[in-house]
Amino acid sequence: MKRFALYLASAILISFLVLFFLFTDKDYMAEKLFYRAKSTHSEIMKNPDATPPAMSVSVERDLQKIMRGHPDSELARHSYMALAEFYITEKRYEDAVAIIGAFLSEHEASGVSLLSKAYFLKGMAYEKKGEWHNAVKEYEILRDEYHHTPIGLQSALYIAQRCKGYGNMAETLKKYEDAIALYKRLCEENRGTMLGYSSSTYLIRSYIETEKYEEAGSIVEANIYDYPTPLVQAQQIPLIELIFVKKLKDADKAVKIYEYLIKNTEDAEFKKLLHNKIKRANEAKQQTTQ
């Protein structure tokens, strides 16, 4: 019996070893390296100033190994981005710009998602280096050529917000106007689609940040009619309260919208929420008239 047990245990072990050495898949090993590098990078980001040097070295080494060993693979392209993010975490901004430059020249046929991320990271590296004028150039490429990607779409508003942080009011207003113009165009061209709705949310935020509450309110109202889904309706509720009740002091308009939503929903919990909102809007109206 003991011998039988030993034979069985040996069979398992030998079969494991045989499979392990026979099935040495280079792509699988590269994925393991990539995961290890990303995990180590996540650990470094928790406390970047107190990282043992060996950890940083291992991240760079693993990612460069993937880029050298699998130059034409999708994983190698993601490794470029991961390495750029790592260099930014390590405050090696020159290296980040260099690696992204290498990626853009060698892999210009990559997918738009990776290319948009590359421009964003390049802009971020310049920004952290203190070269805002160079950063804006990259963000503007992102805004103009990749506005149909998630990163590209938000870049227009991002440029205006960052400008505000640097204190140049004239340039900030210009950037907000550019963002508003872009988002308005995208809303109209892509009405009824995901891109159209996403553009409208950024347009609302742009109007709110430039205190154009009437315009923001009209977009919110249009969204409720153009995108009659529970998720979109739920996302407009806090905006209705902010714009119509708090900023425009037009509680009647807010109540009208809430009543429209109550008529067009079957969800009892949502109806209860809307009744509460109507109550709060009427209370706010009474306080305003007093």
Partner 1 sequence: MISINKEPRFGLKSNWSAALELLAARPIVLMPFLVLALIQGLFLELLYFSSRRPLSFIADPLIRKFFGAGFTHYPAELILLPKLFAYASTLIYITAGIFLTAVCVEIIKRAKEDSSFDTGDIIRDNGKRYTTFLIYGVIATLAVYLAKRGNAFVFSLFYKLLASRLPEAVPGTVPAATTFFMPMALFLTIVVLHVFLLLVIPIIVIRGGTLWKAIVKSVSMGLRNFSYIFPLIIVPYLVYLPVFIMKANSARLAKLVFPEVILIITAAGIIVSMFVDCFVVICATEFLLKTTKKDS
Q: Given the rule CB under 8 A, which residues bind partner 1?
A: 1-2, 4-5, 8, 11-12, 15-16, 19-20, 23-25, 27-28, 31-32, 35
Q: How far is the CB of 31 from partner 1 (least distance, A)?
A: 4
Tokens 């992204």, residue located: 100
- Give, in order, the Cα–Cα distances in Å from 22 to each of 17, 27, 34, 224, 249: 8, 14, 22, 59, 73
Nearer to partner 1, 40 or 198 (CB): 40
- Give, in order, the Cα–Cα distances in Å from 155 to each of 109, 129, 148, 289: 22, 19, 11, 41
Nearer to partner 1, 25 or 72 (CB): 25
Nearer to partner 1, 74 or 144 (CB): 74
Nearer to partner 1, 33 or 219 (CB): 33
Q: How far is the CB of 281 from partner 1 (least distance, A)?
A: 24
Nearer to partner 1, 5 or 169 (CB): 5
Whether the Cβ atoms of residue 248 and residue 275 lie closer than 8 Å to each other: no
Q: How far is the CB of 203 from partner 1 (least distance, A)?
A: 33
Q: How far apart are CA 42 and CA 57, in angstroms?
A: 14
Q: How far is the CB of 127 from partner 1 (least distance, A)?
A: 31
CA nearest neighbour of 207 among 237, 161, 176? 176
The secondary element (H helix, E strand) that includes residue 280 is: helix 268-289
Q: How far apart are CA 247 and CA 25, in angstroms?
A: 61
Nearer to partner 1, 8 or 181 (CB): 8
Phi-psi region of 110 (alpha: psi -120 to 50; beta: other; left: phi over 0): beta
Q: How far is the CB of 72 from partner 1 (least distance, A)?
A: 17
Q: How far is the CB of 237 from partner 1 (least distance, A)?
A: 19
